[in-house]
Chain A
Amino acid sequence: MVARQEELTRLLQAWRDRDRAALDQLTPLIYGELRKLARFHMSREAPGHTLQATALIHEAFLKLVDIEGVDWKDRRHFFAAASQIMRRMLVDYARKKRSIKRGRQLKRVPFEEAIAQPAGLPAPVDIIAFDQALTRLAAADARKAEVVEFWFFGGMTVEEIANTMDIGATTVRRDMEFAKVWLARALGINTHE
């Protein structure tokens, strides 16, 4: 476990130093842990239980990395890495799943009616469409896209985002608000007002 932590820390540092390959190596390490956690959370079938983004992503990392042992600068990068890994993983996963579905037209069998689903979860977004919209947003306004990435995929708070990006909290909030509207339009989300 110690060796693994060291490996992760090393990879995180490499990634901070703009080594893209490091992220590729990090992903599978974190992925397994994340999956286990997600399953664990989902299996707690208590009504009203919601899966917290922060909880999920942080738990995954905390299990793997000695977060207290790294300095603040590394922590920041750690959060940033977490967001990117989460985003990539979800997109890859969703793509893979979609291709399986397209390939075999897998008809899912609802083995249980919906009562065992944890209550209170919002309707899931289409991850692939969201990712594409976010990429387009990045082309127009890279900062806003990064804020969204940290916020949505990293489970980071406004303060954490502001700290990590070295910008004011107000700017983060404004970016969030504008980006959300922009993304909602890009995703074609409508309301019945």
Chain B
Amino acid sequence: MNEKFWAQVEETFFEAVELPKEARTTFLNQVCAEWPEIQREVESLLQHEAAAKQLNPSAVVAAAAELFTEDESGLIGTVVADKYLIRSCLGTGGSGEVYLADHIALDTPFALKRPKTPLGSDPQYRKRFVQEARRAVLLKHDNVARVHDVIDVGEDVFIVMEYVEGTTLRTRLDDRGRPFTTDEFLPIATQCAAALAAAHEKHLVHLDVKPGNIMLTPAGQVKVCDFGVARRLSADTGGDTTTSKADWTFAGTPAYMAPEVILSHQFDERADLFSLGTVFYEMLTGRNPFTADTVVATTARVVSDNPPPISTLNPDVDPKLERIIARMLCKDPNERYATATDVVNDLTAVRRSRNRYRDVAESIREAFAESRWMKAAAIIVSLVVIAAPFAGIYWNRLERWIGGAALPERRIVAVLPFQLIGNSRDERLYSEGVSEILTGKLAQLTNVPNLQVVPSSEIRSRKIDNPEKARAEFGATIVLAGAFQFSGDQVRVSYSLIDAVHHRGLRSGSKTFLLADPFTLQDAAIRDILSMLEIQFPPTAQETLQVFGTPNPKAFFLYTQGRGALSNYYDRENVDTAINLFTQAVELDPQYAAGFAALGRTYWQKFSFTKQPAWLDQGLNACEKAVSLDRPLSDGHVCLGLLHESKGDNELAVEDYQRAITYSAGASDDALRGLGSVLEELHRYEDAEKAYLKAIELRPQYWASQSWIAVFYNRDHKYSKAIEHFYKALALSPDNAQVYYSLALAFLNDGQYDNAIRSIQKSIELRPYVAEPYNNLGLTYLRTRRYNDAIAPLEKAASIGNNYGMRGNLARIYWLTGQKEKARQNYQLGIEQGEKLILLNPRDHAAHLLVGRYYAMLDKKTEALSHIELALTLHPDDPHYLTIAATAYVQLGDRNNALSLLEQAVRLGYTTVQIQGEPELDVLKAEPRFIALMSSNPQRK
């Protein structure tokens, strides 16, 4: 800035400001004739002369006060009472602050309220406040935000409350800008009254019932908050001198306060009914009946004014409701309802008599409640079909009415592939693509407390297609099932949430979309699903959840279809279809990075079937294109990683996966797993361990990360660490049969046979139709020499599994129990099945090893040795392989070779316990080398 200019402006300003306003322009015209910029500047400043009066140090202080006393009271990041880690501030106001906190040990979110009261000043008063607040701990009801504890720490008192996700009724009222309709009003009102009924039964008066204390969850559940808080300055403070009459105005809120509370301090439960009546009135009319400009005027109106009848403000309101509310608002408590239960009953009666839509909906809700999920789903699906013509309104109602049931506390969600009503191939691909994409997006939300999403790859690879299976395999508590129905240029999507534990419907809904607008469909679907799951749409996740990658709807449609085709990649024809669809998509939008990444990945899939390197190069082209278009797109880097890994460029793959992890902030399963496995492949075990640990650090709530590292430790012979992490996985995802199964393997390897047996039995209990657990149960008995117990499970495994390994294990137990002929038959069957696999893949080392062992058991030395030697060449340095090979050499009479192999196995980390687990090696017990080996007591890794 020019100093001369500045000085001139200042001087002119002060001259002008002394003059009366009318004279200023003339003055400026004169003095600034030669320098019009000065005139403009001074005139502009003079216009702000009045505004400048608002600018005072106290405005800064006000801002300071707000900043210092709001969300940041220095508590965030601190631990309260050694238990609660304060995460963020949820709200603040005259009554205090509310924080979101995690219980450190339970890993559960709570809301901590720090009441703003002059608590510190009077120990007596403080003691009574805490006592009073603690009474609320006894109150348990679905519609009451539970008070878990009241903590008195040093200078503060904290009330530990249930953390409720949702909005307050206050916000809802402010946001919607119009009154509630009767149908919207009734479910909320009934739940509010029910909350009060429960509290009053325990003689707890709320005293501050108002919209700001009523929370609404996305699923439509009501939670009344702050029981036991407002009463602090009420009449029962008795002779306390610190409590003057003025204090109570800060306890409740005058516009919702009962007249008797204002006037006399003589009140009972019925005061809450008046407050609730005021809330109801506001919901139906859009305005509080008593609010005036000042507190004094408001209290005067509460005491003496009768509010105008609701119907004069909202003629659509059911007259029965008007009567109920008028009775709640009687000035004399004796004229009000006697109890909140009476209010609940009257509201329920109104609900019952509501129109036919609701009755139908109610009957469906009941059907959901008692029927198994399939029946319920059938009703939904048939309703979609039957009710299609007028479904628009109908479904919206249905959605709300069914939305009553509470979700399981632990949300372990499996998204089933969406069903298709109709069977056009295009439609099928599209609907499968949508469910694939939705699962992927949901799975990225693993930082939401108490939410686990089963990865779609797991759903696909285990062919999970119904809630029972999702429950059995992964311990899913919630299943999301959906259906698509196409008609003309529209598609109707309906989804339902099913309680997989109790087999009942929880929520459902449906929407119709234009096919030409696939963006809206996906966007609305993800929002609806989150809302059904009672997950607040995380604003930070906006980018991941709402990115389509292309502005071209047709390209996005093709992409979605491609994803659908690729999700069924085991059908090879689908892979070609996917290549075709993704190619079309990127032709339509040559900037479509996600399209290129998907195309590259499909080429990789094509390569893994055909093993033709040309596909790898095609894939690399596509993925490099994806990365060059959109570098932070993690899919592109994952795709490069897969391709580099397949080309043997493991070092490059490591970098690709690391980039993918960085760009996805750890939300990409493929990248995290890929990195771990490629590092293992490179024998960089310490780095692999770090990668898996990093995966846990990035997604601490995610069971699969715990499971991956545990499986890694198990492979790396670090069994106690494996067991530890399997336990952590189970803590996050109880009843997960997969994890129990893997845990059993770790126990088995660690020689903890009793634990192994319990763990396997648990996994069998959860999913009795899978062969592997029976096999392992049998092997465990076999290793502990409980041969007779081993027979039944191994027979069961071989009959379900019918693969060569299980066949061979059955042969082993027959052989060990002296049933030599049966043993030979089964070894022979095992050889036949194994050789078929070797024909398909001549480098299948596991098949070579076991087939070799079986030949040895049949005393066919030449065949045995050729297979075993090949297996050990293809897959050297695996102590497990060496030990199995040793059993074959023992059978072939070559004890020296067997002992050398065992010594090598021990050097590679095998334990004596593991070696002693092989009954076929028992004949070595007298051998000095074997004795020496067993007493060398190799350290467990």
Contact = CB atoms under 8 A, between A and B. Distances in A.
Nearest to B174: A110
Most A C-beta atoms less than 10 A away, residue of B64, B72, B73, B94 = B64
B60 A189 contact: no
A121 B65 contact: yes
Interface string A160-193: 0000000000000010011011111101011101
Contacts of B68: 34-35, 38-39, 42, 93
A124 interface: yes
Contacts of B117: 43
Interface string A113-153: 11111000111111100100000000111000000000111
The interface residues of chain A, by DSSP majority, are classed as: helix
A62 to B, nearest CB: 17
B48 A184 contact: yes
Interface stretch (A5-13, A47-55, A64-72): A47-55
A38 B295 contact: no
Nearest to A52: B61
A104 B539 contact: yes
B52 interface: yes
A58 B661 CA distance: 50
A63 interface: no
Contact of A130 (B48, B60, B73, B168): B60
A22 interface: no
A179 B129 CA distance: 50
B91 A127 contact: no
A115 B254 contact: yes
Interface residues of B, number: 67
Nearest to A178: B10
A125 B59 contact: yes
A113 B168 contact: no
B539 A110 contact: no
B263 interface: no
B538 to A, nearest CB: 8
Interface string B51-92: 111111111111111111111111000000000000011111
A110 B212 contact: yes
Contacts of A38: 64-65, 68-69
Interface residues of A, number: 66
Most B C-beta atoms less than 10 A away, residue of A38, A105, A109 = A109
Contacts of A86: 64
Contacts, number: 199
Interface string A99-115: 01001111111111111
Interface in B491-517: none
Given A39-B73, A104-B88, A104-B539, A127 B61 contact: no
Contacts of B116: 43, 45, 116
A93 B89 CA distance: 14
Nearest to A56: B61
A184 B96 contact: no
A77 interface: no
A53 B92 contact: no
B341 interface: no
A90 B60 contact: yes
Nearest to B58: A122
A190 B64 contact: no
A109 B71 contact: no
A42 B98 CA distance: 16
Nearest to A189: B51
A97 interface: yes
B55 A125 contact: yes
Contacts of B255: 113
Contacts of A34: 68
20 contacts: A38-B64, A38-B69, A39-B73, A43-B117, A45-B94, A51-B62, A52-B58, A56-B61, A56-B64, A105-B539, A109-B90, A112-B212, A115-B253, A121-B61, A126-B63, A127-B64, A130-B60, A140-B6, A181-B45, A181-B48
Interface of A: 32, 34-35, 38-39, 41-45, 50-53, 56, 86, 90, 93-94, 96-97, 100, 103-117, 121-127, 130, 139-141, 151-153, 155, 174, 177-178, 180-185, 187, 189-191, 193
Given A53-B58, A109-B93, 6 more contacts: A35-B74, A52-B58, A106-B71, A114-B94, A124-B60, A130-B63
Interface of B: 1, 6, 10, 13-14, 17, 44-74, 88-96, 98, 116-118, 167-168, 170-171, 210, 212-213, 226, 249-250, 253-255, 295, 538-540
